[in-house]
Amino acid sequence: MGAAGQVGDLLEHYASRGVFRGFSRQYERAGGAEFRSRWHRDQVFQWVWNEARQTLRISCVLPAVPSGSTMYPDFKGWLLARQDAALPAHRRCDPAKVALRTYNRGGDVALTLHVLDGDVDYAVKKLVNLVNEIYQDFLSSGLYYDWVVETFELDPDHPY
């Protein structure tokens, strides 16, 4: 099985455990693959594996983030801190194993994880955990309460 199939199988395993509310394989071929999952705030996450680059990208991990806001620089700083040696190993993304990149295109914040050592299992696990921490840690700080309520059309009278 190639790395594309391996990535798909790992993501499908998370879906079978109930981490995602939905999962589908869009395509798989020698050069890469695309998968979709329904997850936080009922969003559809598009996962793209690029074999040549050894990257796994989520094209929109945070939607509608204004490029001029403080949220995006704060997110980049938070992301950088995920590779800090002070974090416990289970929460840290080892910079010797993976590199993290993010960019904001038209308000949609993408997240890419570059596999540096060929350990695709580690990379998929870390990206799943990282996205979960974005929603459970970064966004739960309260700093972006108005953004969360507006973006995900939540009832402001009920805590998210």
CA–CA separation, 24 and 155 (whole Å): 30
The predicted-structure confidence for 94-120, as pLDDT tens digits, reads as follows 999 999 999 999 999 999 999 999 999
Which residues, 6+ apart, have CB-to-CB distance to 91 below 8 Å? 82, 129, 133
Give all domains of the chain, ordered by start, each with its CATH number.
Answer: 3-151 (3.30.1460)
CA–CA separation, 23 and 8 (whole Å): 10
Q: What is the pLDDT of residue 110?
A: 96
User: Among 90, 89, 93, which residue's Cα sits nearest to residue 112?
Assistant: 93
Using the predicted structure, report yes or no on whether residue 1 has a pLDDT greater than 60. no
Q: Burial letters for 24-37: b for 16+ Cβ neighbours within 10 Å, e otherwise?
A: ebeebeeebbbbbb
For the whole model, what pTM was predicted?
0.89
